[in-house]
Amino acid sequence: MEYERQLRDGQALIERALQSCFAGREPMANIYDAMEYSLMAGGKRIRPLLTLEVCRMCGGDVAQALPFACAVEMIHTYSLIHDDLPCMDDDDLRRGKPTNHKIYGEATAVLAGDALLTAAFETALEQSSGVPSDRVVAAAACLAHAAGARGMVGGQSLDMAAEGRAVTRRDVEDLQKLKTGALLSAAAEMGCVIAGGGTDDRAAVRRYAQKLGLAFQVRDDMLDVEGDERTLGKPIGSDQANEKTTFVTLLGMDGCRELVDTLTDAAVAALEPFGGRADFLCWLARALAGRES
């Protein structure tokens, strides 16, 4: 219960911080509406939570990590808007609501994504007063690296190239490490950097996030088969319909369940050096492993 409360408190803090980014919005009202529509559409806020909670675990000031938490959520959101575009995955629904381009049109959806990606760096670089500049540079560089062609965008590019073709487990793992793992890792690592954590702490945190990220994706593939459409807010069975190679097609449901547990154990083990300060993040890894949405 205590952890669930910490989760809700963190999520509420993130919601308020994200909302405050839309304070002085005019005169480009339409683009801000489109940005806000997707950014404030809910979601679990896992990435910014990782930033805040890793910062806390590493002895840092959570308030100082908040601009970086917002930044990573903005990048996650922009990637969803662009992934949903007709020329990409062509999705009509996201979290139970029409996708951005369904409401605002394709051109504005492209621009809203571009603006959110840019706003991520603006937020991280402009609102980080109190954080030593070298940490700001290191954290923002970590985010940029993870979000780009060697990270998330590279993963999305590989994903499109792989569609409808037979691929191995190794291929799928490599792809997911880039497509979802890189940004999750950066989210966690930034929290450590802001707190002033050293090389060993950064490596432990990265290992935790990498294992958690892969477990998250395997669970995602499972939910596309066994999930409840209303809880998920999106139709299930889309991977099969798209003839996508997923962890489920490669390992079966039982194999996936086992893999999620193994990865979650490894995530938890990675935080051993932090002792009791890692309790919340260990609980979070287990909660995500059993999530239904």
Q: Which stretch binds its own copies (CB under 8 A): 43-51, 140-148, 224-232, 262-270?
A: 140-148
Query: In degrees, to the nearest 5, what angle opens at C-alpha 235 toward C-alphas 32 and 51?
Result: 50
Residue 106 binding its own copies, by CB under 8 A: yes
Q: Which stretch binds its own copies (CB under 8 A): 56-64, 82-90, 235-243, 253-261?
A: 82-90
Q: Look at residues 41, 23, 40, 46 and name the one whose alpha carbon lies nearest to residue 291.
A: 46
Q: Which stretch binds its own copies (CB under 8 A): 11-19, 53-61, 119-127, 182-190?
A: 119-127
Say how many C-beta atoms besides its own lie within 10 A of residue 142's C-beta: 23
What residues contact 43, with CB distance under 8 A and at least 6 apart? 95
Question: What is the rounded CA–CA span in Å between residue 245 and residue 257?
Answer: 17
* 47 versus 219: smaller Cβ distance to its own copies: 47
Contact 48, 14 (CB under 8 A): yes
Residue 31 binding its own copies, by CB under 8 A: yes
* 149 versus 269: smaller Cβ distance to its own copies: 149
39 — phi, psi (to 5°)?
Answer: -65, -35
Closest contact distance (angstroms) between CB of 203 and its own copies is 19
Candidates 1, 23, 107, 166; binder of its own copies (CB under 8 A) is: 107
**In the range 154-213, which residues lie near its own copies by CB under 8 A?**
154, 156-158, 160-161
Q: Look at residues 255, 92, 247, 98 and name the one whose alpha carbon lies nearest to residue 180.
A: 247
Q: Which stretch binds its own copies (CB under 8 A): 56-64, 129-137, 192-200, 216-224?
A: 129-137
Residues in the chain: 293
Residue 108 binding its own copies, by CB under 8 A: yes
Residue 228 binding its own copies, by CB under 8 A: no
* 50 versus 124: smaller Cβ distance to its own copies: 124
Question: What is the rounded CA–CA span in Å between residue 213 and residue 205?
Answer: 12
What residues contact 272, with CB distance under 8 A and at least 6 apart? 278
Closest contact distance (angstroms) between CB of 212 and its own copies is 23
Q: Which stretch binds its own copies (CB under 8 A): 59-67, 79-87, 181-189, 218-226?
A: 79-87
- Could you tell me the CA-to-CA distances from 257 to 33, 139, 166, 208, 217 in Å, in that order? 40, 34, 22, 19, 12
Question: What is the rounded CA–CA span in Å between residue 275 and residue 26?
Answer: 48
* 177 versus 219: smaller Cβ distance to its own copies: 177
Residue 242 binding its own copies, by CB under 8 A: no
Residues that bind its own copies (CB under 8 A): 27-28, 30-32, 35, 78-79, 82, 85, 87-88, 105-108, 110-111, 113-115, 117-119, 121-122, 125-126, 128, 132-134, 136-137, 140-141, 144-145, 147-150, 153-154, 156-158, 160-161
